[in-house]
């Protein structure tokens, strides 16, 4: 699909599916997003159990997915959808108070998340950016998620929780082992919160080379964003002895400028 931009009259509009169990929320989102010249709302769903059939019938480019729904929640629906070939991108609607849910959505391959009270223009921008292959993950939100992941790992309880953690660690280490040495170094640096520019200086590489290495890692594992790389490195236990850098992914937007900007949902 041609990358859609508001200024490009020949670009194909972004085909959007909205899934939310609240009819008033769906109506508001449809009115707001359908008013953009380069977005067309192709359909609505009221539950995650409807998503597969709607995607098959309507062929959306992006699904705007609520988390809490009665029969199948948005996280389960996202995991099922992103496991399919040629799946549309998913943007999760969240209240942002449930970090564990957001982490699960990102692990499943969601390209970003938006708050339900986000200003309309920013939600429209989020849909455009995700359709263009640019994940919607702000640096501040990314740092919070990684801190939560680290805390959850440290506080894992006995029994099944410990076993699940061990299994995830083993899977992550096997995946990391498939990387070349330089790719592994870059992945660990991403996990430590380094920007592209900082990684380049640390490893004596050009910024362009770092961007290429990050892209290769994303492609190798079928990831959508740097947060997934950081989570993989975290799960593999490669950050356990790292007490520097403040944790998190400081440049979650991937532009490599290293700026520590104040939180804006789509900075």
- Model pLDDT for residues 126-179, shown as the tens digit of each residue: 899 888 877 776 555 666 666 666 666 555 555 555 677 788 899 999 999 999
64 has a pLDDT exceeding 90: yes
258 has a pLDDT exceeding 60: no
Q: Computed over its alpha carbons, how large is the radius of gyration of the chain?
A: 19
Q: How much is the average pLDDT of 45-68?
A: 96
Highest mean pLDDT: which range of 99-103, 157-161, 188-192: 188-192
Phi and psi at 155, nearest 5°, equal -100, 20
pLDDT cut 90: percent of the chain above it: 42
Highest mean pLDDT: which range of 54-58, 72-76, 113-117, 263-267: 54-58
Length of the chain counted residue by residue: 267
Q: Which residue has the higher pLDDT, 140 or 239?
A: 239
Q: Which residue has the higher pLDDT, 202 or 165?
A: 202
Q: How much is the average pLDDT of 254-258?
A: 37
CA distances to 69, 149, 183, 233, 244 from 155, rounded to whole Å, are 28, 10, 30, 18, 21
Give the span between the Cα atoms of 227 and 81, in whole angstroms. 20
Q: How much is the average pLDDT of 186-215?
A: 89
110 has a pLDDT exceeding 70: yes
Closest CA to 156 of 111, 100, 197, 199: 100
Give the model's pLDDT for residue 253: 38
User: Helices 181-191 and 207-221 sit at what angle, rounded to 10 degrees?
Assistant: 90
CB 107 within 8 A of CB 92: no
Give the model's pLDDT for residue 154: 54
When pLDDT is cut at 50, 70 and 90, the band that residue 260 belongs to is very low
Average pLDDT value over all residues in the chain: 79
184 has a pLDDT exceeding 90: yes
pLDDT cut 70: percent of the chain above it: 74
Lowest mean pLDDT of 21-30, 176-185, 191-200, name the range.
191-200
Give the model's pLDDT for residue 44: 97
Q: Which residue has the higher pLDDT, 226 or 25?
A: 25
User: Helices 196-203 and 181-191 sit at what angle, rounded to 10 degrees?
Assistant: 130
Partners of 92 in the beta sheet?
65, 113
pTM over 0.95, yes/no: no
When pLDDT is cut at 50, 70 and 90, the band that residue 227 belongs to is confident
């Amino acid at each position: 699909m041609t990358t859609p931009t508001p200024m490009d009259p020949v670009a194909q509009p972004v085909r959007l599916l909205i899934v939310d169990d609240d009819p008033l929320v769906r109506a508001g989102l449809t009115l707001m997003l359908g008013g953009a010249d380069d977005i067309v709302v192709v359909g609505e769903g009221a539950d995650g159990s409807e998503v597969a059939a709607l995607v098959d019938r309507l062929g959306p480019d992006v699904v705007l997915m609520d988390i809490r729904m009665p029969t199948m929640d948005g996280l389960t629906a996202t995991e099922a959808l992103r496991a399919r070939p040629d799946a549309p991108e998913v943007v999760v609607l969240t209240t942002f108070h449930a970090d564990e849910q957001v982490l699960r959505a990102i692990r499943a391959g969601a390209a970003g998340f938006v708050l339900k009270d986000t200003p309309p223009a920013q939600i429209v921008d989020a849909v455009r950016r995700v359709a263009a292959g640019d994940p919607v993950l702000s640096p501040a939100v990314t740092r919070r998620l990684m801190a939560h992941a680290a805390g959850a790992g440290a506080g894992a309880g006995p029994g099944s929780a410990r076993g699940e953690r061990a299994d995830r660690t083993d899977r992550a280490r096997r995946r990391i082992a498939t990387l070349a040495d330089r790719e592994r170094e870059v992945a660990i640096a991403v996990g430590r919160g380094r920007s592209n520019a900082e990684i380049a200086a640390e490893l004596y590489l050009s910024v362009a080379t770092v961007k290429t290495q990050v892209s290769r890692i994303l492609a190798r594992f079928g990831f959508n964003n740097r947060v997934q790389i950081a989570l993989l490195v975290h799960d593999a236990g490669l950050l356990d002895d790292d007490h520097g850098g403040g944790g998190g992914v400081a440049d979650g937007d991937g532009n490599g400028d290293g700026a520590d900007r104040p939180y804006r949902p789509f900075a």
